[in-house]
Amino acid sequence: MTWEDFYDKFYEWADSTQVRKISELTTFGSHEQVAEVILMYVDEKAASRLAKKALTAGVE
């Protein structure tokens, strides 16, 4: 799943869907968008997982 698809739909999804979709990400957007989404997660583990995946993909 591209970052654009993920980001466009993120706020419409249930919390569980937001978390599940992290594993489907194949691209990432700007560091500002990634940080915005990370801050929206209530689940700290999900936020950490997204942050680690984004950093591994080269988001700074």
Q: What confidence score (pLDDT) does residue 17 get?
A: 96
Cβ(3)–Cβ(33) below 8 Å:
yes
- For 10-48, write each residue's pLDDT tens digit: 999 999 999 999 999 999 999 999 999 999 998 999 999
Q: What confidence score (pLDDT) does residue 37 get?
A: 97
Please give the Cα distance from 31 to 15 (Å, whole number). 21
End-to-end CA distance of the chain: 20
Structural domain of 24: 3-56
Question: Number of folded domains in the chain?
Answer: 1
Q: Structure pTM? A: 0.91
Q: What confidence score (pLDDT) does residue 42 get?
A: 86
Per-residue burial over 18-54, b = 16 or more CB atoms within 10 Å of its CB, e = otherwise: bbebbeebeebbeeebbeebeeebeeeebbebbbeeb
